[in-house]
Structure 1
Amino acid sequence: MTDKKKLSGEERRELLLKWLQNEKKPLTGSELAEKARVSRQVIVGDMTLLKARGIPVMATSQGYVYLPKHDREGFERVVACIHPPEMAEKELLLLVDLGILVKDVKIEHSVYGDLTASIMVSNRKEVHRFLDRIQETNAAYLSELTGGVHLHTISAKDESALDEAEQALQDAGFLLE
């Protein structure tokens, strides 16, 4: 933002969307807040409003991203996995090395029901950034709440890549049978 004029909420949301559409990497709420000269909490509210309108904005562990139509096309599958936390890196690297986008992790919690967290990793750098963030914040893996049992939504350009990924998970002992 170059001028000091205060933007209306609608103008700010249009600007946020433009920034996300023009950026190849995720933008954090803090980065967007600084650019828009508002608080991070205002950005969280703006993103919620954009999502409610059906705009394909997603919060990931690395920040907010806009998902262009071509990124939303392809094939998806949900796979059930089980492993201890120390095997998360091996599991994620196995998938991204096969050209898979790991969209999320889901668990079924005994009190809260289904819990889903966005991961959105598709290469080694993103996996390591995600895992570094877990360590830096001392956060727990969702699967720690369920004895290692969890689901991933995985995406690829074709069904055969998903088949190959599922077979690789089974061969590595990660697939819940």
Structure 2
Amino acid sequence: MLEGEQRRKAILAQLQTTKQAYSATKFAKELGVSRQVIVGDVALLRAAGENIIATARGYKLASEELAEGFMAKIAVQHDESQTQLELETILSFGAEILDVIVEHDLYGELVGGLYISNEIEMLNFMQKYEKSQARLLSQLTNGIHLHTIRYQKAEDLAQIKQALAEQGILYQDTMDTTVNK
């Protein structure tokens, strides 16, 4: 069993050499400690300035997430039954869904990392959601939420928004703001 500083160096070294997310459970088994010790180690690494993100599949270095392409935030609204449709629609244009963001009355902006870039990751997320009995962040805000997405071509964003609008998922201001003169 490695001591704290050595263990944190091992965690960081592993994250630097893999492109896949690495779970706290896997780290714990390999390093001979509990999962909670790993969670604490990652918190200390983050506090020391390491840009580690937590995804539903494990930890990754954020620098890998800042790949080429364009990034935008899109506002959407739907109930939980449309979650998979929303994710499939965004992915169908080759985009990656980086996070989900909601505005909370007490805490302000809450962000959940998703990092879903393909159908398998999306299905894994949906399966984990269904098994967990957890609530989606969007359920805190009547379904209104944002996603940060990364896409490859400038025109992809308009196509994604159009497809979401056609499904009634894109959040749009429905108030008429025209002024009669």
TM category (shorter chain) comes to 0.7 to 0.9
TM-score (norm: length of structure 1): 0.88
Q: Does 1:7 align with 2:10?
A: no
Q: Does 1:72 align with 2:58?
A: no
Q: Does 1:149 align with 2:154?
A: no
Q: Deviations over 1:12-71 (max 9, x none)?
A: 1121122223334322111111111111111112212222333332101111122445x4
Mapped to 2, the partners of 1:33 and 1:47 lie a distance apart of 12
- The one-letter code sitting in structure 2 at the alignment partner of 1:86 is S
TM-score (norm: length of structure 2): 0.86
CA contact (8 A) 1:32 1:43 kept: yes
Gaps of 5+ in 2: 173-181
Mapped to 1, the partners of 2:58 and 2:123 lie a distance apart of 15
* Percent identity of equivalent pairs: 36
- The one-letter code sitting in structure 2 at the alignment partner of 1:75 is F
Larger radius of gyration: 2
Aligned Cα root-mean-square deviation (Å): 1.7
Mapped to 2, the partners of 1:166 and 1:52 lie a distance apart of 37
Superposed, 1:33-112 pairs within 5 Å as 33-69=28-64, 71-73=65-67, 74-112=69-107
- The one-letter code sitting in structure 1 at the alignment partner of 2:91 is V
